[in-house]
Amino acid sequence: MTQTIEFGLDTFGDVTHANGKPLPHAQVLRDVVAQGVLADQVGVDFIGLGEHHRDDFAISAPEMVMAAIAARTSRIRVGTAVTVLSSDDPIRLFQRLSTLDALSNGRAELILGRGSFTESFPLFGFDLRDYETLFEQKLDLFTRLIRDDKISWSGSHRPALKGQRVYPTPERPLRAWVGVGGSPESVIRAVHFDLPMMLAIIGGSPARFKPFAELYRDAFAQADRPVQPIGVHSPGHIADTDEAARENFFPGYKAMHDRIGRERGWPALQKADFLREVEHGSLYVGSPETVAAKIAGTVKALGLNRFQLKYSAGPVPHAALMRTIELYGTRVIPLVRDMLG
């Protein structure tokens, strides 16, 4: 397991605060690039950038930020986390990623998802009533693009293709995952399209997702195909001590949670609920030793090939995010590898 596990970081470009005021999107984007550069320097394997179209997240064009990070690094893989495929064009997405993959010497990848936010649908002229069919058809087309030289395809949401070539041609197949929020249907879809599965576990015990990991492996076995990798994306924060991590992270995490909660009808986050999630759920918040032990437990329980820590959360300051990245790369990852070994 120590030879196959990869360690990543994810961010949505959450708008951070300085002196009690939100920073401009432009500064947040520059800070994300600096975070990616630091992640490369401290040995993180992957950084994923989430696509959103709202004022509390700065990244709406992740491939542009990925390119900026790739230009200043030499080792770290850069990807999306996630690309909202339902409201994108699979062909243009393939062209952007294959271009970035060429310029980064094979370091580009992406995680495809339906997205838990829906602002992109009206923005780009899509009907939410087509939520399921848009994703299913576009995922079908995109998987053909990454595997076939000539594309013949038809669906109900774009013109058919017949023997179409799409350029630039990648030097090697693009690596694409599918994001899964936790439904059996989504797990089976990932198997059907023969894609690695990234489980978004943002609440509750990680162990409750074990049946989904087992279903994924069993479905591949029944199809007589080699099982693809499994990853987990979960939020967290690292500081020198457990107490410092909790105190640094809670205000920003609560601000983000409560803002989204007002839109979706959730109750405001209480400190006791936060601490319960830290201690027993899917918040990886604490000292390097605490976070490493929790990650190792999740990797073992689910049989993971990758773990991705969503290190940004609302207005948590840039300096605190940089410290999390430093500790993740220099302390947490080596500790987890030792624990798994």
Whether residue 143 is predicted with pLDDT greater than 70 in this model: the reply is yes
Q: What is the mean pLDDT of the chain?
A: 96
Render pLDDT for 191-203 as a digit per residue (tens, 0 to 9).
999 999 999 999 9
Indicate whether 3 pLDDT > 80: no
pLDDT of residue 78: 98
Decide if pLDDT at 124 tops 80.
Answer: yes
pLDDT of residue 302: 98
Evaluate if residue 277 carries a pLDDT over 90. Answer: yes
Residue 290 · residue 209 · CB < 8 Å: no
Alpha helices, H only, the chain: 25-41, 62-71, 90-103, 120-123, 131-145, 184-192, 210-222, 242-264, 271-280, 288-302, 318-327, 333-340
Read off the pLDDT of each residue in 83-103 and give the average, rounded to a whole number: 98
Domain ranges of the chain: 6-340
Tell me the whole-structure pTM to 2 decimals.
0.97
pLDDT at position 1: 43
Give tens-digit pLDDT for 225-251: 999 999 999 999 999 999 999 999 999
pLDDT score for 115: 81
CA nearest to 60, candidates 142, 119, 104: 119
Confidence at 270, pLDDT banded by 50, 70, 90: very high
Q: Residue 182: what pLDDT?
A: 82
Tokens of 55: 């004022």
Q: In this predicted structure, what is the pLDDT of residue 20?
A: 87
Largest CA distance in the chain: 60
Say if domain 6-340 classifies as CATH 3.40.50.970.
no
Query: What is the C-alpha separation between 185 and 188, in angstroms, rounded?
Result: 5
Provide the pLDDT for residue 4.
82
Banded model confidence at residue 116, pLDDT cuts 50, 70, 90? confident
pLDDT given at position 221: 98
Q: Which amino acid type is present at position 49?
A: L
Average pLDDT estimate for 120-144? 97
% of the chain beyond a pLDDT of 70: 99
2 has a pLDDT exceeding 60: no
Angle CA 293–196–147, to nearest 5: 155
- 167-222 pLDDT, tens digit per residue, is 999 999 999 999 999 899 999 999 999 999 999 999 999 999 999 999 999 999 99
Q: Is the predicted pLDDT of residue 131 greater than 50, yes or no?
A: yes
Residue with tokens 């992957």: 46
Q: pLDDT-derived band of residue 38, with 50, 70 and 90 as boundaries? A: very high
- Give the per-residue SS3 of 286-309: ECHHHHHHHHHHHHHHHCCCEEEE
Q: Residues in the chain, how many?
A: 341
Is beta strand 306-310 parallel, antiparallel or unpaired with respect to 284-286? Answer: unpaired
Q: What is the pLDDT of residue 235?
A: 98
